[in-house]
């Protein structure tokens, strides 16, 4: 996280009541990235979409690539991502973000292009577009926010809903017999030849957030190599539809979701170590 010391001169201002007030100077230890629009977000209290938005925009700021970055927003809770991310963006039809991103990136191969999609958008209606974009090795980053539920439409079962998990459309708990088991999307993507970097991260703790940001940074940097698709699945929460407090929801990620969706890198770039004559690092 960027920190810099603000060296404001000590000064005084006149308040509206006429009183002179001194302005104290602080060392800046935290601020929102300038690439994030300074408005209130519509997300529910405790929802991690805002955090993940911020992480991506921090990376854009850190890499100084605001002028070269185009994002694709999905249909779902993050449909308004373009209201918050201060970059050029396109709003895709439900599930079609990877195809839209393909159109953008093929025409502008030197720009940074990413999609931001939820589990209903990517893993249900958009799984076809996603698989083919990754298989072609489109040089884009796909950020897949998996909270195991359709958030915006208020809590229906998703392809990633955990086995036995209750949702409004699986009121007795998801039944593997009737609806299959949750799709492990990151593992699925890692099977495809065009996938360059596939990882599953979460935001359930400060350490996890730092790892997620590191993965995002790596993925953006990899885009310049033009070696294939980067796919980052982020296990996230949905306190409103899970009917949990934000803290409970973070515990649920660690204690339940991560059992079905193991965290960590699934496919990492293979680099040739020239010093050891072709050995694999």
Minimum CB distance to another protein, residue 123 (Å): 16
Using CB under 8 A, which of the segments 61-69, 157-165, 217-225, 233-241 binds another protein? 61-69
Per CB under 8 A, the list member of 59, 92, 157, 162 interacting with another protein is 92
Residue 90 in contact with another protein, rule: CB under 8 A: yes
Beta carbons within 8 Å of 57's beta carbon, 6+ residues apart: 33, 35, 36, 85, 86, 87
Q: 117 vs 249, which CB is nearer to another protein? A: 117
HSE-up of residue 276 (Cα within 13 Å, Cβ side):
6
Residue 68 in contact with another protein, rule: CB under 8 A: yes
Using CB under 8 A, which of the segments 8-16, 72-80, 201-209, 225-233 binds another protein? 72-80
Using a 10 angstrom Cβ sphere, with 0-12 exposed, 13-18 middle and 19 or more buried, the burial of residue 279 is exposed
Site string for another protein, 113-152 (x = CB under 8 A): ---------------xx--x--------------------
Q: 13 vs 39, which CB is nearer to another protein? A: 39
Residue 87 in contact with another protein, rule: CB under 8 A: yes
As a whole number of angstroms, the distance between CA 80 and CA 96 comes to 16
Residue 76: phi and psi, rounded to 5, are 150, -165
Using CB under 8 A, which of the segments 67-75, 208-216, 240-248, 255-263 binds another protein? 67-75
DSSP calls for 56-91? HHHHHHHHT-GGGEEEEE-SSGGGGHHHHB-SEEEE
CB 200 within 8 A of CB 263: yes
Residue 89 in contact with another protein, rule: CB under 8 A: yes
Per CB under 8 A, the list member of 36, 72, 208, 209 interacting with another protein is 72
Q: 72 vs 165, which CB is nearer to another protein? A: 72
Residue 193 in contact with another protein, rule: CB under 8 A: no
Give me the residue label for tokens 């308040």. 15
Give the bridge partners for 229, in sequence order: 195
Residue 179 in contact with another protein, rule: CB under 8 A: no
- Number of residues forming the site for another protein (CB under 8 A): 34
H or E stretch including 206? helix 206-223
Minimum CB distance to another protein, residue 219 (Å): 18
As a whole number of angstroms, the distance between CA 163 and CA 173 comes to 7
As a whole number of angstroms, the distance between CA 281 and CA 275 comes to 10
The binding site for another protein (CB under 8 A) comprises 66-70, 72-73, 79-80, 82, 85-93, 96, 99-108, 111, 128-129, 132
């Amino acid at each position: 996280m960027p920190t810099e010391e603000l060296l404001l001169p000590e000064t005084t201002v006149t308040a509206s009541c006429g009183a002179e007030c001194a302005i104290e100077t602080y060392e800046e230890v935290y601020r929102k990235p300038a690439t994030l629009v300074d408005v209130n977000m519509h997300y529910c209290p405790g929802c991690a979409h805002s955090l993940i938005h911020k992480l991506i925009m921090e990376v854009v700021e850190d890499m100084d690539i605001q002028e070269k970055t185009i994002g694709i927003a999905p249909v779902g809770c993050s449909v308004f991502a373009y209201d918050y991310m201060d970059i050029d963006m396109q709003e895709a039809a439900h599930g079609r973000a990877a195809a839209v991103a393909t159109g953008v990136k093929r025409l502008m191969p030197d720009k940074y292009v990413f999609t931001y999609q939820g589990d209903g958008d990517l893993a249900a209606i958009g799984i076809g577009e996603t698989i083919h974009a990754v298989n072609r090795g489109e040089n884009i980053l796909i950020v897949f926010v998996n909270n195991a539920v359709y958030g915006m439409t208020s809590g229906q079962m998703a392809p990633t809903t955990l086995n036995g998990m209750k949702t409004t459309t699986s009121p007795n708990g998801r039944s593997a017999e009737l609806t299959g088991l949750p799709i492990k999307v990151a593992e699925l993507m890692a099977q495809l030849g065009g996938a360059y970097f596939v990882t599953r991260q979460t935001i359930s703790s400060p350490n996890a957030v730092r790892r997620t940001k590191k993965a995002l940074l790596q993925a953006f940097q990899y885009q310049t190599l033009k070696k294939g698709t980067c796919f980052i699945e982020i296990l996230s929460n949905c306190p409103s539809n899970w009917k949990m407090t934000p803290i409970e929801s973070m515990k649920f990620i660690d204690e339940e979701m991560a059992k079905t969706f193991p965290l960590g890198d699934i496919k990492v770039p293979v680099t040739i170590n020239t010093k050891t004559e072709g050995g694999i690092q």
